[in-house]
Amino acid sequence: MPVYYGGLEAGGTKMICAVGAGPNDLVAEARLPTTTPAETLAEVIAFFKAQQAAHGPLAGLGIGTFGPLDLDRASPTYGYITATTKPGWSQVDMAGPLGAALGAPVGFDTDVNAAALGEWRWGAAQGLDTFLYLTIGTGIGGGAVVNGKPLHGLLHPEMGHIRIPHDRQADPFAGVCAFHGDCLEGLASGPAIGARWSQPAEQLPPDHPAWALEAQYLGAGVASLICALSPQRVILGGGVMSQAHLFPLVRAEVRRLLNGYVQLPAILTGAIDGYIVPPGLGGRAGVLGAIALGELAAAG
Ligand code: ADP
Ligand code: ZN
């Protein structure tokens, strides 16, 4: 019998569940709406139980979720979503009930660390040991693998909330972050673009001034993160980055800001096209990363 893993990408609006062993070997996928924790977790468990009935026990389950999270294995609330801004979802145990119901070892991490793991296993970060995955969507979040391990640290990184230069004369928009106003997420997330220009980001034409400004902000964020983490590659995903014309603009801005100081061919030359890249797994990095997390949990 083939060995299968479960992957759950838990988002604020939807839960993406999958069962399989990799991108070309998925036996089931489902998207369930995120409602109350009790109802949502019951539906997620029902999905995975049905898959176990059809395909046999899952060797491991990976959960990549919105946060903030408790990733400290020594903590009594390990595996919980902690003080989230999403109503009803604070202090919700995710890993415990799922692991108990499915009888499988659970891997638990941020949605963006899971996506980074997916890219490491099957996507654009194969063979690297230090890299960055940044998603630019409803929020901005960063996951990283550093020296061969997902980066957790004190809590887990909150890369979307770094501060970047904001010229209020050129861009009077105050920013949408509830905590910081004009942090990177506040200025450059999808909702920030939509609010600044009074129309959804996906409706702005490629020659709209929104994109040059967006590239300026993303370039500032990415340049700072390159200086802090020294990633061997930077993967930019999320709905906003489906505007493919942003990539050359962001690369140019990163080179302009680093100004020749980071002495690497990957940054100094045209090779930057292979340094700042879209996800190899596209929009499936998160759920496939959750499967990779399940695989790691099964390996112990
Ligand atoms: P989420 O972050 O909720 O998982 P997405 O990564 O799709 O989901 O991000 C949604 C955000 O990205 C929205 O703010 C939306 O306006 C923006 N977005 C989605 N698709 C596009 C697109 N093609 N071009 C520009 N912005 C987009
Ligand atoms: Zn913020």
Three-class secondary structure of residue 31 per DSSP:
strand
Say what the pLDDT of residue 205 is.
97
Q: Output the DSSP codes for 86-151.
A: STT-TTEE-HHHHHHHHT--EEEEEHHHHHHHHHHHHSTTTT-SSEEEEEESSSEEEEEEETTEE-
Q: Is residue 154 domain-shared with residue 258, that is, in the same domain?
A: yes
- Interval 195-213 mean pLDDT: 98
Q: Is residue 24 domain-shared with residue 159, that is, in the same domain?
A: no
Strands (E), 149-295: 149-150, 234-237, 276-277
Q: Give distance in angstroms: CA of 158 to centre of ligand 2.
A: 9
Burial class (CB in 10 A: 0-12, 13-18, 19+), 288: buried
| Among the listed residues 1, 127, 130, 16, the one whose alpha carbon sits nearest the alpha carbon of residue 62 | 16
Half-sphere exposure of 250 (CA within 13 A, CB side): 31
Protein residues placing their CB within 5 Å of the ion ligand 2: 161, 177, 179-180, 183, 185
Would you mind telling me the total number of residues written for the chain in this entry?
Answer: 300
Residue 160 near ligand 1, beta carbon < 6 Å: no
| Among the listed residues 133, 146, 124, 135, the one whose alpha carbon sits nearest the alpha carbon of residue 23 | 124
Three-class secondary structure of residue 37 per DSSP:
helix
Q: Which residue has the higher pLDDT, 261 or 144?
A: 144
Quote the number of domains for the chain. 2
* Residues 81/92, Cβ–Cβ less than 8 Å: yes
Residue 183 forms part of a structural domain? yes
Q: Is residue 141 domain-shared with residue 187, that is, in the same domain?
A: yes
What ligand is nearest to the CA atom of residue 211? 1
Say what the pLDDT of residue 264 is.
81
Say what the pLDDT of residue 263 is.
81
pLDDT tens by residue, 247-260:
999 999 999 999 98
Residue 202 near ligand 1, beta carbon < 6 Å: yes
Measured CA to CA, the distance from residue 110 to residue 260 in angstroms comes to 33
Domain carrying residue 271: 127-278
Q: Which residue is it, tokens 């977790």? A: 41
| Among the listed residues 284, 265, 249, 246, the one whose alpha carbon sits nearest the alpha carbon of residue 123 | 284
Q: Is residue 59 domain-shared with residue 164, that is, in the same domain?
A: no
- Who's near 156: CB < 8 A, 6+ residues apart? 67, 68, 69, 71, 109, 110, 113
Q: Is residue 154 domain-shared with residue 234, that is, in the same domain?
A: yes
Which of 134, 135, 199, 202 is the pocket-test mutation for ligand 1 (most atoms within 8 Å of CB)? 202
Q: Give distance in angstroms: CA of 190 to centre of ligand 1.
A: 6
264 secondary structure, DSSP code? -
Residue 243 near ligand 1, beta carbon < 6 Å: yes
How far does the chain reach from its first CA to its final CA, in angstroms? 21
Measured CA to CA, the distance from residue 203 to residue 209 in angstroms comes to 13
What ligand is nearest to the CA atom of residue 286? 1
Q: Residue 22 is inside which H or E element, if any?
A: strand 14-22
Nearest CA to ligand 1 atom 18: 239
Which of 110, 138, 204, 284 is the pocket-test mutation for ligand 1 (most atoms within 8 Å of CB)? 138
pLDDT tens by residue, 35-84:
999 999 999 999 999 999 999 999 999 999 999 999 999 999 999 999 99
What ligand is nearest to the CA atom of residue 64? 1
Percent of the chain residues past pLDDT 90, beyond the cut: 94
Q: Is residue 177 domain-shared with residue 273, that is, in the same domain?
A: yes
Say what the pLDDT of residue 262 is.
84
Say what the pLDDT of residue 123 is.
98
What ligand is nearest to the CA atom of residue 208? 1
Residue 119 forms part of a structural domain? no
Residue 2 near ligand 1, beta carbon < 6 Å: no
pLDDT tens by residue, 105-135:
999 999 999 999 999 999 999 999 999 999 9
Q: Is residue 222 domain-shared with residue 290, that is, in the same domain?
A: no
105 secondary structure, DSSP code? -
Residue 121 forms part of a structural domain? no
Residue 250 forms part of a structural domain? yes
Question: Residue 245 corresponds to which amino acid?
Answer: H
pLDDT tens by residue, 266-299:
887 778 999 999 999 999 999 999 999 999 999 9
CA distances from 33 to 7, 43, 44, 126, 142 (A): 16, 9, 10, 32, 24
Q: Is residue 61 domain-shared with residue 138, that is, in the same domain?
A: no
Model confidence at 13, pLDDT cuts 50, 70, 90, reads very high
Residue 122 forms part of a structural domain? no
| Among the listed residues 239, 233, 168, the one whose alpha carbon sits nearest the alpha carbon of residue 201 | 239
Say what the pLDDT of residue 42 is.
98
Tell whether pTM > 0.95.
yes
pLDDT tens by residue, 135-184:
999 999 999 999 999 999 999 999 999 999 999 999 999 999 999 999 99
Q: Is residue 208 domain-shared with residue 72, that is, in the same domain?
A: no
Residue 145 near ligand 1, beta carbon < 6 Å: no
Q: Is residue 270 domain-shared with residue 148, that is, in the same domain?
A: yes
Say what the pLDDT of residue 48 is.
98
Residue 51 forms part of a structural domain? yes
Residue 120 forms part of a structural domain? no
Say what the pLDDT of residue 261 is.
87
Q: What is the CATH number of the domain that holds 107?
A: 3.30.420.40
Residue 226 forms part of a structural domain? yes
* Residues 175/122, Cβ–Cβ less than 8 Å: no
Nearest CA to ligand 1 atom 15: 190
Which of 112, 240, 284 is the pocket-test mutation for ligand 1 (most atoms within 8 Å of CB)? 240
Say what the pLDDT of residue 265 is.
80
Q: Is residue 94 domain-shared with residue 159, that is, in the same domain?
A: no
Q: Is residue 32 domain-shared with residue 157, that is, in the same domain?
A: no
